[in-house]
Amino acid sequence: MFEIAEIIIVLAVFLVLYRTIVGPRFFDRALAANVMGTKTVVLLVLIGFVYARPHFLDIALVYALINFIATLAILKYRESLGLD
Amino acid sequence: MSFILTFLLMFAFWMLLSGQTQPILLLLGVISSLLVAYWSHDLFIGKADIGQGIVRFLRLIRYIPWLLWQIVLANLHLVYLTLHPKMPIEPTMMTFKTNFNTDMGVFILATSITLTPGTVTVEATRDEFVVHSISKTTAESLVSGEMQARVKEIEGHRV
Amino acid sequence: MDVKTIITAVLLFTGCFFIVVAAIGVVRFPDFFARMHPAGKGDTLGQALILLSLMVYEGFTLITVKLFIIMVFILVANPTGSHFIAKGAYVAGVKPTKAHEEVDISSSEVAVSSTSKKHCGVDSAS
């Protein structure tokens, strides 16, 4: 059951990866990267349940924090460099 | 006072994350909680009124079930828009005025607007909100102002 | 097949459905501000449902508390992050496809500005 859910989420990540590569502007790419990060957190939690290792939950929590900080950081970086 | 409260919260969080009661781990937890509380208690609580904060938190808990129901409605609306073959969207931007006293009210209203059907906050200050809405009916539901009244009730706003 | 497994499966696959719909929406919507909607909403509810199903599956242990912390953090952080991206795009001048409207919420009437060239930040008539 959890394996099927993982496969579905990986397919969804590939769909969003299209927008990350093609996305006409910088903001589309940042948005798609943020969405992919959220899906990755869920994927990490599911991997922890499939292999019965609860340590993956700590990794997922840290990844959620990093994902949020990275979104803020990359937008600040863009502001200072004027990327598009 | 704020130092002790921050220390207790940080130590409870440490206990939740580690879940072990060996003496060396407890000692490390106490040391790191003390350090974090010493460095950041003025940022975390500061001179805020703790009693008023607790009252607002209780009011916020009463607000959450309504918000969760709105999130479910928002997602059903989003599923309809996304899977409809012609995609019946009419995107518009709109501006409206607000008057909030606290940043917490602005934050709760901005998050609630993002999570409720068909609207996303674009810019939020105490005086003015810029909102992007995706179809006409959802824009009208925001104009009725029910959500703003609820958030002001949490804030303790006397109109 | 007891009741707990059925509840877990229903919540898990509903969450997967919302996540896939959010991904389709991010790919399919025509302009940037429309793509904000699936990114801000669909993901938030999808991950909440999946983590809730795992909480039901696990019962009440320390793992449940950690799952709850992750769920609440993403419920708060995901709308905030997407709002930050939207604000950056708005300041940088990404234009939505339709014209701008002025809405006065206190008198609860919609005043649509007839000229579409009106600047976004300047609010005059209300």
Question: ipTM of the predicted structure?
Answer: 0.84
Contact pairs from chain B to chain C, CB under 8 Å: 139
Could you tell me the residue ranges of all domains in chain C?
A: 3-95, 97-126
B91 burial (CB, 10 Å; 0-12 / 13-18 / 19+) is: middle
C119 burial (CB, 10 Å; 0-12 / 13-18 / 19+) is: exposed
pLDDT in tens, chain C (126 residues): 688 888 888 888 888 888 888 888 888 887 888 888 888 888 888 888 888 888 888 888 888 888 888 888 888 888 888 888 888 888 877 776 654 444 444 444 344 433 333 344 433 333
Chain A's closest residue to C17, CA to CA, is A8
Of C38, C100, C104, the CB nearest to B78: C38
Of B21, B5, C93, B78, which Cα lies nearest the Cα of A25? C93
Tokens found for residue A73:
């950081």
| Sheet of B92-97, strands arranged across | B119-124, B128-133, B92-97, C100-104, C109-111
A8–C80 CB contact, under 8 Å: no
- To the nearest whole Å, the CA of A60 is away from the closest chain C CA by 8
**pLDDT at residue B137 in the model:** 65
Tokens found for residue B92:
């518009």
Spell out which residues of chain C touch residue A54, defining contact as CB-CB under 8 Å.
63, 66
Say whether residue C7 is in contact with chain B using an 8 A CB cutoff.
no
| pLDDT < 70 stretches in chain B | 46-48, 136-145, 157-159
Give the separation between CA B142 and CA B8, rounded to whole angstroms. 40
